[in-house]
Structure 1
Amino acid sequence: MTSDSGVRLDCAGPVATVTLCRPDVLNAQTPAMWTALREFSRDLPGDVRVVIVRGEGRAFSAGLDLSLVSGEGMNSFTEMARITPEESADRIHGFQMGFTWLRRPDIVSIAAVQGHAIGAGFQLALACDLRVLADDAKLSMAEAALGLVPDLGGTKRLVELVGYGRALELCATARRVDAVEAERIGLANLVVPRADLDGATNDLAAAVLNAPRNAVIEVKALLSGAADRSYAEQDRAEREAQTRRFRDLAGLGE
């Protein structure tokens, strides 16, 4: 499925690939792209189990299209300041939905990151469950340098991955993290040579698909909710999930 907004969705059996396709501007993001991403979430075939997010060209995404900073049009910084706070928050919520669907319980999402993943680009990678980085990747949460905050769903995942202190340092300084450091501090599941990025991402997707879909869904639910549960609550969640798996495997599911 092609979108004139600069994003493309391709589906091949249980794998869907979302591609940012504005390589001439390093896949700089616009609200139109976020709207398209949100629509893609509604258009996924029911048999899709893995979603790969990638960017064409030299970079995954260099972040926000800076025309929004200096312009006067729809969704520009100037307009966002002029509308009411409630309208602004509602509009941002719509933008966030282009990212948050990648956390859906029925899919595993994988970001394949090369070159720059800055600001909104970094947050798009963080929205995914897993991240494969090329060895030339550079990550940065650059919003504070523009006088802004990360607002596309990236702050909670960043704290979950690297802890509060390091997350604060990365956001407040907007410094760039290379692939080696990203792997060391938990931002990357895998770092590979640039030429191997697509192959490594496809291999990871295939490995996820090896397990039965319902088992992966249950595992994702257990792990994603673990931080908010006590040990006793997590033990109970494991028991209940395993009981459902026994019944499903025996053909006795609901």
Structure 2
Amino acid sequence: MASLDPVLDKDGVRLTVDEAIATVTLTNPAKRNIQSPALWRALAQAGGALPGSVRVVVMRAEGKSFSAGLDRQMFTPDGIEGEPTFIDIARSSDAELDATIAEYQEAFTWWRRNDIVSIAAVQGHAIGAGFQLALACDLRVVADDVQFAMRETSLGLVPDLTGTHPLVSLVGYARALEICATGRSVLSEEAVSTGLANIAVPREQLDDTVRDLAAALLTAPRDAVIETKALLRGAQERSYEEQRAAERAAQARRLRDLAGVGD
């Protein structure tokens, strides 16, 4: 990716913008880009800092691994300096506990906004929170060494960073349950064959492939992509007749816009 002055660079997250393409990079390869509340806050800030010109957002990571998941220090009595431990969180009130998890989820929600298309470029390990960060994006391009794994259940937890909905949507309930309950690794061939990944390429081709995909996404008019993404995102929740109606309404907006006809 191009070397640009960062819009944001803190807590293991860097955001750069090159006209219509923004790149969010995890920048702690020495620790396999492990995740913490500070990193999640920085990811949420990156979403809020996107200029209106951005149409495509690339999520990538430095080093051999995309992200090895949660920083296990959160499980220890001392925890991460300045952050609550899991014990602290568990002892909070119901409302406080819910609010804390909701705050953490904010790092994973903005990637599916209708006004952008997000691409995760994933290499090496994408475990737990790392897997869920890749799932937060619209599209996934993976290196042939990728290893997805959802390890939360083996720790006595559940995946709670918005990953369950896209996982079931992509691979179906039965396979999603098996992946989560066993904690096993999903490699590149299976990821592509099940729809979890759009394409797998050799590691050295990952950045170039993502760059080409981002460029291809910019060829269609922005408003048409926004309307199409909204249609597709809502399709599973709508009935067939409701989706037909949504298509008609979206097309009416596009035709009137192209013809310069007001509402």
Quick check: 1:38 aligned with 2:44? yes
Quick check: 1:9 aligned with 2:9? no
**Which residue in 1 is equivalent to 2:218?**
209
Superposition TM-score, scaled by structure 2 size: 0.94
Measured after TM superposition, the shift of residue 85 of structure 1 is 2.3
Which of 69, 93, 105 aligns to 2:75? It is 69
**Which residue in 2 is equivalent to 1:228?**
237
Which of 139, 144, 149 aligns to 1:135? It is 144
- Between 1:1-10 and 1:52-61, the stretch displaced more is 1-10
**Which residue in 1 is equivalent to 2:3?**
none
**CA separation of 1:22/1:81 partners in 2, compared to 1, >3 Å: closer, same or farther?**
same
Quick check: 1:86 aligned with 2:95? yes
Q: Distance in 1 between matches of 2:54 and 2:235?
A: 25
Give deviations 1:169-207, integer Å, cap 9, x for gaps.
011011001001111111000110000000000111111
Q: Distance in 2 between matches of 1:52 and 1:70?
A: 33
Quick check: 1:18 aligned with 2:14? no
8 Å CA contact 1:72, 1:79 repeated in 2: no
8 Å CA contact 2:118, 2:139 repeated in 1: yes
Q: What is the CA RMSD across the aligned residues, in angstroms?
A: 1.0
The DSSP-based 3-state class of the residue aligned with 2:66 is: coil
Q: How does 1:168-207 map to 2 (within 5 A)?
A: 168-207=177-216
**CA separation of 1:207/1:213 partners in 2, compared to 1, >3 Å: closer, same or farther?**
same
Q: Distance in 2 between matches of 1:248 and 1:60?
A: 41
The DSSP-based 3-state class of the residue aligned with 1:3 is: strand
What amino acid is aligned across from residue 51 of structure 2 in structure 1? P
**CA separation of 1:224/1:7 partners in 2, compared to 1, >3 Å: closer, same or farther?**
same
Quick check: 1:96 aligned with 2:102? no
What amino acid is aligned across from residue 78 of structure 1 in structure 2? I
Give deviations 1:198-234, integer Å, cap 9, x for gaps.
0000111111100000000010011000001111111
Superposition TM-score, scaled by structure 1 size: 0.98
Which of 97, 120, 124 aligns to 1:115? It is 124
**Which residue in 1 is equivalent to 2:4?**
none
8 Å CA contact 1:102, 1:129 repeated in 2: yes
8 Å CA contact 2:112, 2:118 repeated in 1: yes
Measured after TM superposition, the shift of residue 38 of structure 1 is 0.8
Q: Distance in 2 between matches of 1:164 and 1:36?
A: 32
8 Å CA contact 2:8, 2:46 repeated in 1: no
Number of residue pairs matched? 254
The DSSP-based 3-state class of the residue aligned with 2:9 is: coil
What amino acid is aligned across from residue 13 of structure 1 in structure 2? E
Q: Distance in 1 between matches of 2:248 and 2:98?
A: 40
8 Å CA contact 1:244, 1:253 repeated in 2: no
8 Å CA contact 2:136, 2:166 repeated in 1: yes
**Which residue in 2 is equivalent to 1:57?**
63
Q: Distance in 2 between matches of 1:81 and 1:36?
A: 23
Unaligned runs of 5+ in 2: 1-6
**Which residue in 1 is equivalent to 2:161?**
152
What amino acid is aligned across from residue 106 of structure 2 in structure 1? M
Measured after TM superposition, the shift of residue 253 of structure 1 is 4.8
8 Å CA contact 2:10, 2:42 repeated in 1: no
Q: Distance in 2 between matches of 1:76 and 1:27?
A: 19
